[in-house]
Amino acid sequence: MTPSITSKSLRFSFSIAPSHSKSNPYPKIPLPNPKFHQFPQPLLRLKPISAVQSKLLVPDAGAIVVDRVTEAELKENGFRSTRRTKIVCTIGPQTCGFDELEALAVGGMNVARINMCHGTREWHRQVIEHVRRLNEEKGFGVAVMMDTEGSEINMGDLGGATSAKAEDGEIWTFTVRTLGLDCPDRTITANYDGFAEDVKVGDELLVDGGMVRFVVTEKIGPDVICCCTDPGMLLPRANLTFWRDGSLVLERNAMLPTISSKDWLDIDFGIAEGVDFIAVSFVKSAEVIKHLKSYIAARSPKNDIAVIAKLESIDSLGNLEEIILASDGAMVARGDMGAQIPLEQIPSVQENIVQLCKQLNKPVIVASQLLESMVEYPIPTRAEVADVSEAVGQQADALMLSGESAMGHYPEKALAVLRSVSLRIERRLREKRHSTLEVQTMSSSLHIGIQEEMCNAAVKMANKLEADALFVYTKTGHMASLLSRNRPDCAVFAFTPNSSVRRRLNLRWGLIPFCLSFSNEMESNLKRTFSLLKARGMISSGGLIIVVSDQLRSIQVINVP
């Protein structure tokens, strides 16, 4: 039988062999230290989908729909070994084609992110269309996240070049003139009209939070003449900040709106295209989130777009709790955050945000530079693996790839590293917890709610009884999120009749979202679920399951018949 997915995706996506395997997991690439590649991740093989099967993927009333990769994982590794930490991949020129997107989906991408800083709406529409088609025709369950540009100060798009190198001591011109494609050498446009007025001679100009630095030597009308003091690579639309006497100059940024007029058009585009998440860049207060949520509620009849607050502006750090409470999730956007606060503060800010999100029951994504060296190289640095391990150890809901998947040379390998490190660290956490007999559940901290108490109790039981899985029947996804919040030892099967709820649950730690219509009759729901899952080889008789549901105030403990 010929696999329906490309041989390329099979070769790369599930190529990390178990340590006893003789095959080289990274063909054709010299391995400086082969041991490093022996992430103990079992090989998975996705069964090819025939044309007839492909039709069956369209859910009918009696069917159960689950992401194909998770299904394969469940069949091969059983309940306990599914990956709990979710993965967001930024889509860019390296990964926007249908086959490349499929390879990422096969590799375990849960959410595809498009960044409205780059590319045209037509380009983004094409990506969304590809993701939809993959889900519909090939049985994946990938959600789409649109990330707004925000109105911080950015460079222009380098006259179409993919990058430019600034060398030490070189003189570059930053200008507010409109240059189009015939951009003179060593000239960069800045996107905000007041730029030339606001900077002063002697100011330091930081590109991408300090990846490249300049000092302002002269101002001539719309042109700001600068000397490069820290050489490096300039990327299109990179963020610009300027510093005076050792402090970030913030006055101008404070006057810029969080959501610009261009962002509102992008948001309309996102609503029209039915994206699952809108991530708002440079959020400073809860107000902007509330404003956007009411806009979406008015514009999108089903109101099924989740709003993610990107925490990257220094102004957000004083209002974290109210921003997170107003949002449907948060992102620790370490890239731009690193341009606004000293780098050594980022790890503790990350830890605080992750803990706060868990407490407030909001999904949290840790983003930027997780595997930055993999933009250029096929293996990560040891330090990057340690950073990923730290985020997985904090039990963040999701990890995000940026340049690694958007424009790097090894998107699928970067994804494979996130997957392997997640699996390894998650297992280690469970083993550690088990050896100390520690049962950890969240304390009740939301407004006292019956559902929260039930979910806390269900997770405590599942951990103590070493249940094989938690089942939750949920219309809105809320009960499922309350189980995930406790980070249980076993996987959570979340059954929902609503396909957009199912896609949004993709971002939640440890949840395996299924689309399934169900009635108010729990007994018949369970009977049907068991027989559907058994028929697909996803569960077997004897397994211990703890069941909760939106509709019933009871916790059931059941052995799979």
Ligand X SMILES: Nc1ncnc2c1ncn2[C@@H]1O[C@H](COP(=O)(O)OP(=O)(O)OP(=O)(O)O)[C@@H](O)[C@H]1O
Measured between its terminal Cα atoms, the distance across the chain in Å is 34
CA distances from 244 to 249, 338, 349, 401 (A): 6, 17, 24, 32
Q: Which does 406 bind (CB under 5 to 8 A by kind): ligand CC(=O)C(=O)O, ligand X, Mg ion, none?
A: ligand X
Q: Report the distance separating Cα 484 and Cα 24, nearest Å.
A: 36
Per CB under 6 A, does 236 bind ligand X? yes
Contact between 459 and Mg ion per CB under 5 A: no
The footprint of ligand X on this chain (CB under 6 A) covers a number of residues equal to 18
Residues within window 514-543 making contact with ligand CC(=O)C(=O)O, judged by CB under 6 A: none
| Residue of 166, 379, 406, 490 interacting with ligand X (CB under 6 A) | 406
Positive or negative torsion for Cα 390, 392, 394, 396: positive
Q: Can you read off the two tokens belonging to residue 522?
A: 């729990």
CA nearest neighbour of 457 among 483, 492, 432:
483
CA 258/CA 282 separation, integer angstroms: 6
204-207 and 240-244 beta bridge pairing: antiparallel
CB atoms < 10 A from the CB of 245, how many? 8
Partner interacting with residue 402 (select from ligand X, Mg ion, K ion, none; CB below 5-8 Å by kind): ligand X
CA nearest neighbour of 270 among 146, 151, 149: 146
Residues 446, 455 contacting (CB under 8 angstroms):
no
329 in contact with ligand CC(=O)C(=O)O (CB under 6 A): no
3-state secondary structure of 207: strand
Spatial CA neighbour of 456 closest among 426, 420, 487: 487
Q: What is the nearest approach in angstroms of K ion to the Cβ of residue 398?
A: 17
Given ligand CC(=O)C(=O)O, Mg ion, ligand X, none, residue 90, with its beta carbon under 5 to 8 Å by kind, binds ligand X
Beta carbons of 207 and 149 less than 8 angstroms apart: no
In the list 296, 333, 423, 425, the residue contacting Mg ion (rule: CB under 5 A) is 333
How many C-alpha atoms does 388 have within 13 Å on its Cβ side? 29
Q: Using the rule CB under 6 A, which residue among 65, 127, 367, 483 binds ligand CC(=O)C(=O)O? A: 367
CB of 283 to Mg ion, least distance (A): 11
Please report whether residue 147 would count as binding K ion according to CB under 5 A.
yes
**281-310 binders of ligand X (CB under 6 A):** 281
Determine, following the binding rule CB under 6 A, whether residue 236 of this chain makes contact with ligand CC(=O)C(=O)O.
no
Report how many residues bind ligand CC(=O)C(=O)O under the rule CB under 6 A: 10
Residue 38 gets which letter from DSSP? -
Residue with smallest beta-carbon separation from ligand X? 402
Residue 207 touches which member of ligand CC(=O)C(=O)O, Mg ion, K ion, none, C-beta under 5-8 Å by kind: none
Residue ranges in contact with K ion by CB under 5 A = 115, 117, 147, 281
Q: What does the binding site for ligand CC(=O)C(=O)O look like in residue numbers (CB under 6 A)?
A: 281, 310, 312, 333-336, 367-368, 402
Residues within the interface to ligand X (CB under 6 A):
90, 92-93, 115, 117-119, 147, 235-237, 281, 335-336, 402-403, 406-407
